[in-house]
Amino acid sequence: MVDTPPGETLREIAARYDRAETTVRNQWSTHPEWPSPVGKRGRAYVYDPAAVDAAVTAHFVRPAVELEPHRLYSAAEIEAATGISAGTIRAERSKGRWPAPDDKRGAANVWLGSTVTEALEGRQAYRRHG
């Protein structure tokens, strides 16, 4: 009987975080703070899940943002609260990945905090892992 080393492969890490394996392989695992492998399973390196969680939390997952649900936020205010630039919001809107504004402030689009929170939860970088 062959002992299976404890830990997770990059494929398993990608599945756990709901990310593409190529993202984990080409972006995450090449980061200088990515943990070293603890062994091999077949041809695949395995990594300590606790060390992976620490690296992902520190470098790849944005913290959840708390916005007032009934307050209106401009793109500039969303950027200040979340780090997502107004340009990214425009680009995401043009691709159908950001909701339409809830209202206008003069010429500026504004979104309710609840709308922004929901949009952020749909972005992979904001999802909680389990």
Per-position DSSP letters for 85-119, written without gaps between them = -HHHHHHHHHTT-SPPPSEEETTEEEEEHHHHHHH
Nearest partner of 59 among 70, 51, 48, 67, judged by Cα: 51
* Residue 52 near residue 15, CB atoms below 8 Å: no
pTM: 0.59
pLDDT digit string, tens, across residues 34-78: 999 999 999 999 999 999 999 998 888 777 778 999 999 999 999
With tokens 């390196």, the residue in question is: 45
Q: What pLDDT is stored for residue 123 in this prediction?
A: 67
> Can you say whether residue 7 is alpha, beta or left, with left for phi > 0 and alpha for psi between -120 and 50 degrees?
left
